[in-house]
Structure 1
Amino acid sequence: MKRILIAIDYHPTSEQVAETGYNLAKKLKAKVCLLHVMAQTRYYGMEYPSFLGYEGYNFPVNMQMDSEIQKVAEDYLQKAAAHLDNKVETKLKKGETATAVLKYADEWKADLIVMGTHSHSFLEKLLMGTEATTVLEKTEVPVLMVPVKK
């Protein structure tokens, strides 16, 4: 495995996912790319504690300003990459998460996708599915799922 794509969302549990994927990549001497998909803009205004070296913003984000949200997401990715290693690549995509992860894994020629699985209730999984499930069902690339709890 030479290329490991680590998909992170805008939530503190991403630190566990990123560090797990990065530590595996170091052992394999693999190239790493952190991928973040802007799918649900409401998360960028959340006040989370510091994670992945990212302090966040202490002011509310105007959800109608796409360019401002993109700046927040780019800043988040840069801080997350610096938290791991300055050699880590980053990529920001927009759209539906599972589709964007699958498409970029193919474009970047990833040998492994690393992503987290949030614990959802049985009913939520049954009615809505999860992004992780969609990636697993449609990928041609091995996937490492890191179990995380909100």
Structure 2
Amino acid sequence: MLNELKCILYASYFGSDSRKGFRMAVTLARTNQARLIFMHVIEPLGQRAERLINSYMTEAQFKAQETEGIEIIREEITVRIQKFSAEELPSDYEFSHNPPECRIEQGRPVEQIIRVAKEIDADLIVMGTRTHSALSQILVGSTAHQMLFYSDRPVLVVPMEGDHNC
């Protein structure tokens, strides 16, 4: 028997071509009447960047900037979801019955996606990839590629070339 999809985690990298992945996540959520969580992970600063910032502002100033930045990202996600809804969903369909939830996490993307997927008991993780050549995945590795190896949940990887953002 196939597992029901009750909860879908869409991990967005916020690229200019990421709408295709969100479209797939929305389609699956609508079809299965599943809960949809839109997640974005903010990667940690490198040591050099952190030292540079610390030399120009106090920790309190940095925390205030960080909080403001997270709110800006949350607003951008909300705008993208609204724009997507207006442009791609039937006029009689609204997310009002089951609107996507927004999660913004900080840390290493693979670790945070896996943690949140477990926390919300996601049945499926949907994400895009910009890395298509085998050589580039061997040399660098993409978050999507790593998720295929480390996730204990199904991962649907959607190629993201040539689409609009979401």
Normalising by structure 2, what TM-score? 0.69
Contact 1:38 1:73 in 2 (8 A): no
Matched residue count: 128
Q: Distance in 1 between matches of 2:22 and 2:127?
A: 8
The amino acid across from 1:36 in the alignment is: H
Q: Cα offset for 1:20?
A: 1.1
User: What residue is the counterpart of 1:45 in the other structure?
Assistant: none
Q: Distance in 2 between matches of 1:66 and 1:123?
A: 35
Q: Distance in 2 between matches of 1:69 and 1:10?
A: 14
Moved over 6 A (4+): none
Structure with the bigger RCO (C-alpha within 8 Å, sep 6+) is: 2
Question: Residue 68 of structure 1: SS of its match in structure 2?
Answer: helix
Unaligned runs of 5+ in 1: 42-64
Q: Cα offset for 1:121?
A: 4.3
Normalising by structure 1, what TM-score? 0.76
More helix by share: 2
Relative to structure 1, is the Cα distance of residues 149 and 121 closer, same or farther in structure 2, using a 3 angstrom cutoff? same
Could you tell me the percent identity over the aligned residues? 28
User: What residue is the counterpart of 2:43 in the other structure?
Assistant: 39
Q: Which stretch shows the higher mean deviation, 123-132 or 111-120?
A: 123-132
State the superposition RMSD in angstroms.
Answer: 2.1
Q: Distance in 2 between matches of 1:15 and 1:111?
A: 21
Contact 1:81 1:90 in 2 (8 A): no
Larger Rg: 2
